[in-house]
Every structure is written in structure tokens, then in C-alpha cells.
Amino acid sequence: MTTQMKLALNGQITPAMAAVAAQEGLAPETIRERVAAGTVTICANINHASLKPRGFGLGLKTKVNANIGTSSAYPAVEPELAKLQAAIDAGADAVMDLSTGDDIDFSRKEIIKHSTVPVGTVPIYQATVEAIKSRGSIVDMTADDLFNTIEKHAKDGADFMTIHCGITQASIARLRQQGRVTDIVSRGGSFITGWMLHNDKENPLYERYDELMDICAAYDVTISLGDGLRPGCIADATDRAQIEELLTLGELVDRAWAKGVQVLVEGPGHVPYNQIEANIKLQKQICKGAPFYVLGPLVTDVAPGYDHITAAIGGTLAAAAGADFLCYVTPAEHLGLPTIDDVREGVIASRIAGHAADLVKGVKGAWEWDLSMAKARKALDWEKQIELAIDPVKAGRRRSERNPGGAEACSMCGNYCAMKIVSEYLGKPIEKC
């Protein structure tokens, strides 16, 4: 089997490329050229039967990911399948299964089976959980345990996998020298760092990177190069440890492309607003335009319960500066496992951020969407406004709850609707769209 990237390099437009071109309103040849160059990634494992491919990268709509998955406190998969559907219904372009519950294999297979959007995983989560069960400790995990888990996820149909290859002994030394408030907040990053320090060995994901690429190529898995040293608070942003890892990730992008493996590069994290644009431009330069997948960025540390908003603020600027893929943050971030309502709120908040950025980037269709909404508002066409809303469910509910009897104007202005008054005096009767 060959990969989308290898086929693109050979001049072939695949069905997945054609599907992405249709979604984006672009020429199939444009998608092929960008996949060949590595600036667009199509996450599409050959074993994900229910998948409708999505494209991530240069010139495409900003995409949104939703994290779901079981935990030791909530091990049942059924609520996560409900969250999967809620995320898709709210417009998520991908989901990540971060399961650490009782039967991780079953959870992953069920989520992949039921998902029509790309599914990402973090194999080190399962490898460490199983190491604790079978060997008694995370640090007793072997490199082969980790690689066997990675191959299992690939076989099961994971479309992209977060792999923390960029944490090396050199970057850990830089971290120690730097000093941080929150040290390492990436769960996968902490696992591999603890293993490396205890065993006094180099990161096997870095040492055996070519073997990792062979697994990804066999199933056309996109490697999502994890940012294990991402800043976990504003005070740690854009420090030397973060940049040390980024430099390594840039080299690993080149090595993946040389094997025909598609790449996403993950990024921060908690970043003050005035540093976000520089972070994005630096990543794009070092990683040669590879699609950038960011968590947030969260622009303040003091808003638990509202971190979907802090992330949307940062996500807008990040995407406008060139980030391609936003990992949602829910109101439950830093507090607990998200509910279905949290999932929905997180997806919508990130979609708003992505669309606001798409207006800036001139993504096809973004401007036309806003213009259609403006015309519907001018016409007091409530049905059309709700249809065009990014969250029609909430818009429709608020409209019906606060406007008894379907009044023509909203109950905020009532008889004093500005658009209605000005239209009358300008002699321009309001007309439905």
C-alpha cells in the first residue's frame, strides 16, 4: 500500500483528494500539489471504513478537533460515543480518542467504527496503562511495548497519531536549565520523560523514528508530532525548552516526508496574546509549511470554567497567522472530564475562532457566509438567520424563547428596530432574502 503523499508526488489525484477538493471548492490538482508538498495533509487510514476524508493545511478552511475518550473514573464507552456524535453534529472535523479506561482497545475500535471524521489517538497512553497493569510501573514499559501499541492503533484505523518524538535528552537538559513554573503538562510528554530519566536512555520514538515511519506508511497514518514541552502556563511560553523541541520537530518533518508520510505538527499551549503570531510564524518557517495543529492557544491562566473562551481568543489569532487545525478546549478544561454539553460548547467556540480567521485568510466561502447573514438580518429573515448560524440549535432556541409570537423584530429592540426604522425613512422596504 502507498500513501496519499506518495501518490500525490507521482501525479495521481486520489478519491480522497477529489473529496477534499469538493469540500473546499478548490481544484483537485491544487489539493494534489499541496499534499505532494506536505502543506496539506489528508488524514485517512486505509482501515477506517466509515471515514469521509478531511483536508488540513494551506488555503483550506480552519479545522477543529474534539477530544473524547474514557478515563479510569469514567470507563464506559457509551457516553464517549454520544460525545462523538455530539461533536460531529456540532461541526467537528476530527476527534481524538484519549481513552485510558478499562478496555482501551474496545473503546478505540468502537469510536473509529462510528466516526465519519478522522480519528486521532495517543498510543503512549495505552502503552503506559498496560505497563502499569502488567509490569507495575510506567518506567518498566519497554520500547517494544510502545511500538507494538503504535502498530495496533494503526491497524485498527487511527487516521493520525500523536507521537512525542521531539523530547530528547538534549531537550530535557534544556528544560532543566531553563526552569519552569509548570514543567511538563503534556501527559504523553510526562510519560516519555519519566521513562527516559528513570532508564537513563534516549527517547526510543526519536531513536527508532525510521521504524515508526514504516508503520505510518504501511497504513497511511498521519504522524502528529506532539509538543511534549508545550508551555502549560503563560509564564512558560516561548521558552528555550519549547523552541529546542520545535527545532527537532522540524528535522523530523523532513524525515517523514522523505518516507512519504504525511505530517501534522502540534503546538502550544498557554501563550500570551502578543506572542501567538510569532509562535505560528516560527513554527511554519522551521517546519517548512507543514500543517500546524494548536491547542488553543489559551491566552490567560485564570479562567477555569471559561477556557473555551480563552482558547477561542488565542485560536483566532493563531489561525489568522497561519495555524490550520484547532484542538478545542471545553469549559471543563483544567477541571474534569467534559460532558456532552461541554463538548458541544468547545466545538462551537473553536469553530467561531476558525471561521473568524478564515475571513482574514480569504478562505473560499468564508466572506460569502457572513454576507448572507448580513442580508438576512437586514431583511429580518429570522428563518434564514437561524439556518446560517454556526449553531442553529442554540440560535433557534434563543429566538423562540425570547420572542413570543414570532415578532418581526427581536425583543431587544421591539418597536424601535434600527433596521426597520432606517429602511422606512430611506424608502427601502424590507424584503425577504
136 annotated to bind ligand: no
- Under DSSP, is residue 428 helix (H, G, I), strand (E, B) or coil? coil
266 annotated to bind ligand: yes
125 annotated to bind ligand: yes
188 annotated to bind ligand: yes
- Under DSSP, is residue 67 helix (H, G, I), strand (E, B) or coil? strand
What's the average model confidence in pLDDT over 250-269? 97
pLDDT at position 430 over 70: no
Short-list 153, 28, 177, 167, CA closest to 96: 153
186 annotated to bind ligand: yes
Short-list 4, 21, 32, 5, CA closest to 60: 21
Short-list 64, 57, 54, CA closest to 288: 57
What letter would DSSP give residue 76? -
pLDDT at residue 333, rounded to an integer? 95
Integer angstrom CA distances of residue 400 from 46, 330, 368, 393, 430: 45, 26, 26, 11, 22
Architecture of domain 61-360: Alpha-Beta Barrel (3.20)
293 annotated to bind ligand: yes
What's the average model confidence in pLDDT over 170-191? 95
229 annotated to bind ligand: yes
413 annotated to bind ligand: yes
334 annotated to bind ligand: yes
410 annotated to bind ligand: yes
pLDDT at residue 418, rounded to an integer? 76
114 annotated to bind ligand: no
43 annotated to bind ligand: no
E-strand ranges in 282-417 read 292-295, 325-327
Percent of the chain with pLDDT over 90: 89
Burial of 69 (0-12, 13-18, 19+ CB in 10 A): buried
pLDDT at residue 431, rounded to an integer? 62
67 annotated to bind ligand: yes
48 annotated to bind ligand: no
Which tens digit of pLDDT belongs to each residue from 305-364? 999 999 999 999 999 999 999 999 999 999 999 999 999 999 999 999 999 999 999 999
> Per-domain residue ranges for the chain?
61-360, 366-425
pLDDT at residue 411, rounded to an integer? 63
Contact 50, 10 (CB under 8 A): no
The bridge status of strand 222-225 relative to strand 160-163 is: parallel
Q: Show the cell assigned to 386.
A: 437561524
78 annotated to bind ligand: no
